[in-house]
Amino acid sequence: MQKRHDDSKACLTAFVQDNTVIVIIEMSLRSWLVAGMIPGIDREPLKKIAADPEVLLRLLYRWRDEAIKAGKEITRIAVAYETGRDGFWLARWLRDRGIDAHVIHATSVAISREHRRAKTDRIDTAMLRRGFLGWLRGERGHCSMAVVPTIAEEDAKRPHRERESLVKERTRTINQMKAILTQFGVRNFKAASRKAAEKIDDVRTPEGVPLPPNAGAALRRQIEHFRLINGQIKTIEKTRLQRLRQQPTDKFNAMVFLLVRIIGLGVETAEQLVHEILSRKLRDRKAVARYSGLTGSPDESGARRREKGLSRSGNGRVRKILIQLSWRMLQFQPDSSLVRWFKDRTANSQRSRKPMIVAFARKLIIALWRYVNTGVTPEGFKLAK
């Protein structure tokens, strides 16, 4: 049985072009370029306006009134713009006012492959309009739409993403402290320890002299920065635990509690998986694997057939989490059917296990997706009591 397309690949709403005002917005910091297709009007207007939603709304209503004066019955105003720095706030704002607003995945739009192609806002709006028209007609392959999250859903991703960036910053700071010490031959000083700042004056180089004053001052600043980052990370983690305890029946929090029952899967990983993928409405396991970025990219041309590896078209953050979690599951869930499958496939293999861990991660996320949606525990997985 053929499965129906999802809303991101093709529009499921019947499209009547004579009754629809089609608008594309090319957004920038100070101004927006708005291109329209108005039924009954021969011209295709292109208007540059201030970056103000109220000005945009007045323009949309003006174009609608022009179509009505031309004898057309307008029942729909379809607006689209690309994903980018502005996020989804404009789509939410327009939808609250009865406008059919969509956000186009920037990477899903086909562009010219010329080495030095012309690129202007006018050309971009024309390109987006062609893709948007094909999507409205229900044709696949023109472009795909991003799911517009609510403010709560968008804000729920911020803590673990901020923590991720802080962890990277902490690692960078530690490496900088080690670099300062290594430059002068000091290898036995733990700059990340609690009393490191008080012991800098006691540090001696192999020549028996203290650290130079500028190097010592730089090291103190890095230690102070390290402590600030550590405090911010602990604050995020503490706030998260408080939120989970205060709202245990929340839909997303309930998913987190369900996942942490699996031995080897911690709160941080569970929250990332819930807010990045498991809370999304994905229609089947193929959609889950594709959004995880764990599907292949075959390359076939004539007699040549090969696999180029991961397509990397999905969520890179989810892919990284799943690869790390897969290696962890080999240790914490050795008796599960997934781990036994992985060991059987790699037992007699002379090559690296890295390609197979991707297949394991793909099966793992599908099993976790079914687990949070149906409550069926993956076969052989041990749960905490």
Look at phi and psi of residue 71 and say left if phi exceeds 0, alpha if psi is from -120 to 50, else beta.
Answer: left
* Percentage of the chain exceeding pLDDT 90: 66
> What pLDDT is stored for residue 349 in this prediction?
73
Q: pLDDT confidence of 345, banded at 50, 70, 90? A: confident
Q: What is the pLDDT of residues 88-133, one digit of tens each?
A: 999 999 999 999 999 999 888 888 878 788 889 899 999 999 999 9
Task: Give the CA angle between residues 60, 65, 70 to the nearest 5°.
Answer: 130
Q: Do the beta carbons of residue 93 and residue 81 sit within 8 Å?
A: no
In angstroms, the CA 82 to CA 273 distance is 25
pTM score: 0.85
In angstroms, the CA 336 to CA 330 distance is 9
> What pLDDT is stored for residue 297 in this prediction?
83
Pairing mode, strands 100-104 and 76-82: parallel
Q: What is the pLDDT of residues 10-61, one digit of tens each?
A: 787 888 999 999 999 999 999 999 999 999 998 899 999 999 999 999 999 9
Q: Do the beta carbons of residue 34 and residue 90 sit within 8 Å?
A: no
Q: pLDDT confidence of 3, banded at 50, 70, 90? A: very low
> What pLDDT is stored for residue 111 in this prediction?
83
CA distances from 328 to 121, 323, 376, 383 (A): 47, 9, 21, 15
In angstroms, the CA 24 to CA 284 distance is 31
Q: Do the beta carbons of residue 287 and residue 6 sit within 8 Å?
A: yes
Sole residue written with tokens 């075959």 = 298
Average pLDDT over residues 196-204: 90
The packing angle between helices 316-332 and 337-346, to 10°, is 90
